[in-house]
C-alpha cells in the first residue's frame, strides 16, 4: 500500500502568526473549504454574540459601582429612551434617540445639576450591555485622571446612565444639562471576537437633531483593543481642541496621533514588518 501524500485537511504553517492578531488567520483547509473544527468554532462564537445582543444592562449594579468607585455625592442619573423592549430597540433607532417623558422631567428637575457644565458624560447600553458594564469604570478612571492633570478648570455635569439608547440621545441630555460638550460612552455592536467593545462619541454644543458629521468617534475601546488610558488620552485631546475651536466632528481632525501610535516603527517614519523585512 502506498501512503496518501496529501492529507485531507491541509494545515497552514503560518498559523503561529495568530500570536500577533485575533483575526482568524491560518485556519487551514479541506480542499478550499473550512475544516470542521474551525467551522464549529465560528458557529459557537456567532451564537454567543447573538445572545450578547439581547442581554440587559444591570443599571442598579453599574450605578452603585460608579458611585462608590468615584465617591460621587449623588448616584448617577438613571434615564431611559422611549423604546419598549429589545425587539423595538433593534428596529426603531429613531425611538432610541429620544428620552422618555419621565427621564426628561428628571433631568429638568435635577437639583444636583450645576447651572452649567463643560462636559456631560452619558453612559448608554447600546448593543452591548457587557461593554458598558465592564469598561465604564476603568475608562472613567483614566478620563478623570486627564482632567486632574490639566491646568484648566473642568466642570462636569452629573453622570447619566441610559437604557435602550442610541448615540444621539446624548445630544438631548447634554442640552438639558447645559453642557458645552457631551461624551457618549456606548456599547458597540458585538463582534465575534469582541463582544465587549465600547465606542466614544464626543459632540460640541449638543442639541437635539445634530447629525453624525458633528461627532468625533473613538472605537474599539476594550482591554484587548484600544486600552482605557490611551482612549482617555485621545478623547481628552479632542475635547481640549473642541473647547478651543468651539467645534466638533469632521471639521475637527483627530490629531492625537500626529505624534504617533506605533512607537519605535513610526518614530523612524517606517512601517517595517516581517513581510517587508530584508
We find the least distance from the C-beta atom of residue 234 to another protein, in angstroms, to be: 7
273 binds another protein (CB under 8 A): yes
Q: Of the candidates 36, 64, 91, 178, which one interacts with another protein according to CB under 8 A? A: 91
Q: Is residue 254 involved in binding another protein (CB under 8 A)?
A: yes
SS3 label, residue 103: helix
- Near another protein by CB under 8 A, which window of 62-70, 75-83, 137-145, 218-226? 218-226
Q: Which is nearer to another protein, 63 or 204 (CB)?
A: 204
Kindly list the strands in the beta sheet with 215-221, ordered across the sheet, starting from the edge strand earlier in the chain.
77-80, 160-163, 117-124, 179-187, 198-204, 215-221
Of 67 and 191, the one with the shorter C-beta distance to another protein is: 191
Question: 78 φ, ψ to 5°?
Answer: -105, 115
Residue whose CB is less far from another protein, 69 or 217: 217
Q: Which region, judged by CB under 8 A, interacts with another protein, from 70-78, 143-151, 173-181, 215-223? A: 215-223
Choose, by CB under 8 A, the member of 78, 193, 205, 243 that binds another protein.
193
Spatial CA neighbour of 171 closest among 234, 124, 133, 136: 124
Residue 188 among known ligand-binding residues: yes
Inter-residue long-range contacts of 34-42, CB under 8 Å, 24+ positions, other chains counted: 35/9, 42/192
Which of 160, 190, 200, 241 is the binder for another protein (CB under 8 A)? 190
**Distance from C-alpha of 127 to C-alpha of 124, rounded to nearest angstrom:** 9
Shortest Å distance, C-beta 12 to another protein: 7
Residue 26 CA to residue 23 CA, distance in Å, equals 9
The phi and psi torsions of 135 (rounded to 5 degrees) equal -105, -10
Does residue 200 bind another protein (CB under 8 A)? no
Q: Is 179 in the site for another protein (CB under 8 A)?
A: no
Show contacts with another protein in window 8-47 (CB under 8 A). Answer: 10, 12-14, 16-27, 29, 32-34, 38, 42-43, 45-46
> How far is it, in rounded angstroms, from Cα 62 to Cα 76?
9
Phi (first) and psi of residue 176, to 5 degrees: -65, -25
Residues annotated within a binding site for adenosylcob(III)alamin: 167, 188, 217
Amino acid at each position: 500500500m502506498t501512503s496518501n501524500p496529501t492529507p485531507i485537511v491541509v494545515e497552514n504553517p503560518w498559523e503561529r502568526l495568530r500570536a500577533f492578531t485575533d483575526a482568524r488567520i491560518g485556519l487551514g483547509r479541506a480542499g478550499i473549504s473550512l475544516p470542521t473544527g474551525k467551522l464549529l468554532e465560528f458557529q459557537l462564537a456567532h451564537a454567543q454574540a447573538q445572545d450578547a445582543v439581547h442581554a440587559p444592562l444591570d443599571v442598579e449594579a453599574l450605578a452603585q459601582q460608579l458611585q462608590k468607585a468615584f465617591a460621587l455625592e449623588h448616584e448617577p442619573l438613571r434615564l431611559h429612551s422611549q423604546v419598549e423592549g429589545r425587539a423595538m430597540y433593534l428596529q426603531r433607532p429613531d425611538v432610541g434617540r429620544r428620552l422618555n417623558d419621565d427621564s426628561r422631567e428628571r433631568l429638568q428637575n435635577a437639583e444636583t445639576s450645576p447651572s452649567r457644565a463643560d462636559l456631560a458624560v452619558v453612559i448608554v447600553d447600546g448593543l452591548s450591555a457587557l461593554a458598558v458594564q465592564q469598561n465604564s469604570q476603568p475608562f472613567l478612571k483614566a478620563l478623570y485622571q486627564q482632567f486632574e492633570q490639566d491646568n484648566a478648570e473642568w466642570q462636569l455635569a452629573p453622570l447619566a446612565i441610559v437604557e435602550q439608547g442610541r448615540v444621539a440621545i446624548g445630544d438631548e441630555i447634554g442640552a438639558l444639562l447645559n453642557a458645552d460638550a457631551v461624551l457618549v460612552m456606548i456599547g458597540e455592536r458585538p463582534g465575534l471576537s469582541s463582544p465587549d467593545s465600547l465606542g466614544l462619541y464626543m459632540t460640541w454644543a449638543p442639541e437635539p437633531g445634530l447629525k453624525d458629521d458633528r461627532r468625533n468617534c473613538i472605537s474599539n475601546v476594550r482591554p484587548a483593543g484600544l486600552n482605557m488610558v490611551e482612549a482617555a488620552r485621545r478623547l481628552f485631546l479632542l475635547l481640549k481642541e473642541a473647547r478651543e475651536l468651539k467645534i466638533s466632528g469632521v471639521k475637527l481632525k483627530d490629531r492625537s496621533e500626529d505624534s504617533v501610535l506605533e512607537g519605535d516603527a513610526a518614530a523612524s517614519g517606517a512601517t517595517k514588518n516581517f513581510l517587508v523585512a530584508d
